[in-house]
Amino acid sequence: MFHILSENFPFVTYSKNVFIPVTNICRNLCGYCGFRREPGQPGARLMKPEEVISILENGVKAGCTEALFTFGERAEEMPGYSTMLEELGYSSTLEYVVFLCETAIDIGILPHTNAGIMTRSELKALKPLNASMGLMLESTAVLDAHKDCPGKIPERRLETIREAGKLKILYTTGLLIGIGENRDDRIESLEAIAALHMEYGHIQEVIIQNFAPKPGTAMENFPGPAVEEVMDAVALAARILPRDVAIQVAPNLIDPRALIAKGVTDLGGISPLTIDWINPEAEWPDVKDLQAKLGDIPLKERLPVYPQYIKRGWYSERIGSLIRRLSDDKGFRKQPEKENAED
Ligand SMILES: O=c1nc2n(C[C@H](O)[C@H](O)[C@H](O)CO)c3cc(O)ccc3cc-2c(=O)[nH]1
Ligand SMILES: C[C@H]1O[C@@H](n2cnc3c(N)ncnc32)[C@H](O)[C@@H]1O
Ligand code: SF4
């Protein structure tokens, strides 16, 4: 992988996924979040197994290889949530996530779980059932946007990412740009991620995500960051992160072209079926249109496990045969040697 688009890295990647917002009930109160609900509030939900299964099946039919399971954090701390879970027949979120991940694998799509901070034992339970997992560090700075968020204390986020590293779980993390942090904070955040990767080697990708204001939230009148600021953050990431870490931006939130020139190598999950539940106003581009926009920079599909980690066997036995089958179905194993030549 190369951060600076050059003769050495002449393409960008993406993952064809379905976005499954399992629950939006959350104990944190991030000032920028339009996704979160409290039990009983309009729009509060915990998806039923049948709803999830139907999306997974349609995803497989549409050629998607990744099921992105997203959650509010530690919903169990919110009164009323446990009753909702019991109605579905589960006694804990973890038990339900395990069921959903197993079901996804049986249906033929690879889980990527993004559920907020987790304990070592939660991570351990999910490891064999996930191709990769993720948690945005967002920032190492203590910010006003996080004043009512026990789960957004930087040390607690870093601890989760560290535990995942110790368990050799492939990981996605990233920075949220424009939530009150400054440039030095971004540098510090990237250095913290780089240090964890140098110790454990598990960070597949770092998302540089621009804050996009949401109506009805505390930060609804905060402007999103200027494109130049996001470009600078990508350039910092390319300078600070080890070269084998992909740098991701979301093509529904920002025009990726100028950012690719600064070091972006991946465009994350793009769904032909589901919306981006965190940024529901931002439609996914069609992959063909996106390719046309990128001109002569090829856009290549990948799995939620990057090729260099497949090669090194960073996956459990439980999902090994699915990874091999999907790689073959998509023709990834027939690709020219060049793609894998660098590891
Ligand atoms: O569609 C989205 N995908 C998000 N993704 C998914 C990402 O696009 C892909 O799932 C990964 O690239 C794995 O293939 C996240 C994954 C994480 O682990 C952590 C945070 C995010 C954030 C988003 C997001 O805001 N929107
Ligand atoms: C899934 C990820 O989306 C990010 N997230 C939450 N709210 C917003 C927003 N308004 N704009 C951009 N990103 C957001 C958080 O960092 C979360 O971890
Ligand atoms: S960003 Fe995640 S942790 Fe923060 S309020 Fe939204 S759902 Fe909860």
What average pLDDT does range 132-154 have in this prediction? 98
> Is ligand 2 within 6 A of the CB of residue 163?
no
Is residue 332 within 8 Å of 307, Cβ to Cβ? yes
Residues 45 and 37: their CA atoms lie apart, in Å, by 8
107 pLDDT exceeds 80?
A: yes
> Is ligand 3 within 6 A of the CB of residue 111?
no
The protein residue with its alpha carbon nearest to ligand 3, atom 7, reads 72
The protein residue with its alpha carbon nearest to ligand 2, atom 18, reads 136
- The better pLDDT of the pair 14, 333 is held by 14
Q: 21-66 pLDDT, tens per residue?
A: 999 999 999 999 999 999 999 999 999 999 999 999 999 999 999 9
- Inter-CA distances, 30 with 35, 87, 220, 335, Å: 10, 28, 12, 42
5 pLDDT exceeds 70?
A: no
> Is ligand 2 within 6 A of the CB of residue 170?
no
Mean pLDDT of the chain: 95
> Is ligand 3 within 6 A of the CB of residue 303?
no
pLDDT band at 335 (very low <50, low <70, confident <90, very high): low
Write down the pLDDT at residue 9.
56
CA 33 to centroid of ligand 3, rounded, Å: 6
20 pLDDT exceeds 70?
A: yes
Q: 315-326 pLDDT, tens per residue?
A: 999 999 999 999
Give the whole-number percent of the chain exceeding pLDDT 90.
Answer: 94
340 pLDDT exceeds 90?
A: no
The protein residue with its alpha carbon nearest to ligand 1, atom 1, reads 276
Q: 286-303 pLDDT, tens per residue?
A: 999 999 999 999 999 999
| Nearest-atom index, ligand 1, CA of 112 | 10
Write down the pLDDT at residue 343.
39
| Nearest-atom index, ligand 3, CA of 71 | 7
Write down the pLDDT at residue 199.
98
Residues 75 and 78: their CA atoms lie apart, in Å, by 5
Q: How many residues does the chain have?
A: 343
pLDDT band at 333 (very low <50, low <70, confident <90, very high): confident
Structure token digits, residue 228 = 């130049």
Residues 131 and 319: their CA atoms lie apart, in Å, by 7
By most ligand atoms within 8 Å of CB, the mutation choice from 136, 137, 152, 222 for ligand 2 is 136
What would the DSSP string read from start to end of 162-197?
HHHHHTT--EEEEEEESSS--HHHHHHHHHHHHHHH
Structure token digits, residue 171 = 């990981």
Q: DSSP H helical segments within the chain, as ranges?
A: 49-61, 81-87, 93-107, 120-126, 154-166, 183-200, 227-240, 256-262, 287-294, 307-311, 317-329
What average pLDDT does range 304-320 have in this prediction? 97
Write down the pLDDT at residue 10.
78
pLDDT band at 341 (very low <50, low <70, confident <90, very high): very low
Residues 226 and 125: their CA atoms lie apart, in Å, by 40
Residue 228 identity: E
CA 28 to centroid of ligand 3, rounded, Å: 6
- The better pLDDT of the pair 82, 341 is held by 82
Helix (H, G, I), strand (E, B) or coil at 267: strand
CA 328 to centroid of ligand 2, rounded, Å: 33
Q: 192-241 pLDDT, tens per residue?
A: 999 999 999 999 999 999 999 999 999 999 999 999 999 999 999 999 99
> Is ligand 3 within 6 A of the CB of residue 134?
no
Structure token digits, residue 295 = 């001109």
By most ligand atoms within 8 Å of CB, the mutation choice from 22, 112, 245 for ligand 1 is 112
78 pLDDT exceeds 70?
A: yes
Q: 157-196 pLDDT, tens per residue?
A: 999 999 999 999 999 999 999 999 999 999 999 999 999 9
The predicted complex's ipTM stands at 0.98
φ, ψ (nearest 5 deg) of residue 246: -75, 150
> Is ligand 2 within 6 A of the CB of residue 214?
yes
CA 335 to centroid of ligand 1, rounded, Å: 25
4 pLDDT exceeds 60?
A: no
Write down the pLDDT at residue 265.
97
Residues 300 and 282: their CA atoms lie apart, in Å, by 22
By most ligand atoms within 8 Å of CB, the mutation choice from 278, 279, 281 for ligand 2 is 278
Give per-residue burial for 113-147: e unless 16+ CB within 10 Å, then b: bbbbbbeeebbebbbbbbbbbbbbbbbbbebebbe
